Amino acid sequence: MKICVMPGDGIGPEIVAQALRVLDKVGDKFGRTFETSEALIGGCAIDAEGVPLPADTVAKCKDSDAVLLGAVGGPQWDTIDPSIRPEKGLLGIRKELGLFANVRPAKLFKQLADACYLRPDIVARGLDVMVVRELTGGIYFGEPRFDGEKDGERFGYNTMVYFEHEIRRIAKVAFEAARKRSKRVCSVDKANVLDVSRVWREIVIDEHKNYPDIELSHLYVDNAAMQLVRDPSQFDVLVTGNLFGDILSDEAAAITGSIGMLPSASLGAGNPGLFEPIHGSAPDIAGKDLANPLATILSVSMMLRHAFDMTEEADCVEQAVEKTLEQGYRTGDIRQEGAKSVGCTAMAEAVLANM
């Protein structure tokens, strides 16, 4: 299996290095061979080649069976031309690989229940939500767009656009995911005010005819945001567009207690998937061995499961992470009284020991 590794910026190189140690252990334990190549993306690519997504990176990704990413961005690139900011590299590789579906599980590990921001009675009902976000359409890519001046003042606009085929394929991903879970899908839109959302809702309803075993409901995005905090246990799979999904998936992640725990997968139709932790580059702790590597390690588990159909190997990684938490190991973002405080490297070593 060929994997293109893009450590990226900030804590990216640290967490990816530890995740690759876990991948090596999987190879040794199960007799698997993983061939890795490294590529630049984000701020480090800007510094080296002047663009956030070099052509060589795109070629390496397309020549791979899967892509593992750390993180992109940092304050040193905040004031550069917006057209070449580090985040453009992430958006660009998703587009180049046709990765239209971001699958992001937000699960509260029982060992971290005390770290959850919600009331104990809400936590007791459970938190296991999968957010399926459309990734290559919507307002982030819609045309026309403008940033400039009009009538003597600053002026800008973006366009939210969705075509029927884009909505159908993301709805299908959500319905298929629900079949492997609790068979419930909630589609999130803003159909009361947005024309594009009315189209979204109509197409999702039509596609649902192919999945009569799945329960489908709808929420406006503002209500969905409130309900996620009020009672996340009511949700199984959430499906929504690019902008709303960006916000809701981060909210779902944050209420689990730490975004340092959660992985994600960006998938397309037969192209190599992109697997990455949902947190950012955390430049304030970069290079200090303080970062939580578990989200990246769990991203490796998602890669094993979704890209390579290695269920046993993926389960092994996830069980090792759970056992490590059960033993009380904690990085700073999930620190608890009486726990064993460790850094990035030590946390990964504990996971390796439990494999």
Distance CA 161, CA 168 (A): 14
Verify whether residue 250 is a known catalytic residue: yes
Verify whether residue 246 is a known catalytic residue: yes
Verify whether residue 222 is a known catalytic residue: yes
In the chain, which ranges are continuous DSSP H helix?
Answer: 12-30, 43-49, 55-62, 86-96, 120-123, 164-179, 195-208, 221-230, 242-254, 294-306, 311-326, 344-353
Least Cα distance to 34 among 6, 4, 3, 59 occurs for 3
Distance CA 286, CA 1 (A): 30
Distance CA 338, CA 330 (A): 10
Verify whether residue 333 is a known catalytic residue: no
Given the residues 25, 60, 107, 140, the one annotated as active site: 140
Distance CA 77, CA 85 (A): 7
Verify whether residue 220 is a known catalytic residue: no
In three-state secondary structure terms, 68 is: strand
Given the residues 222, 284, 288, 315, the one annotated as active site: 222
Given the residues 62, 250, 323, 340, the one annotated as active site: 250
Given the residues 107, 190, 211, 333, the one annotated as active site: 190
Given the residues 9, 236, 246, 333, the one annotated as active site: 246
In three-state secondary structure terms, 239 is: strand
Instruction: Confirm if 283 and 86 have CB atoms less than 8 A apart.
Output: no
- List active site positions: 140, 190, 222, 246, 250
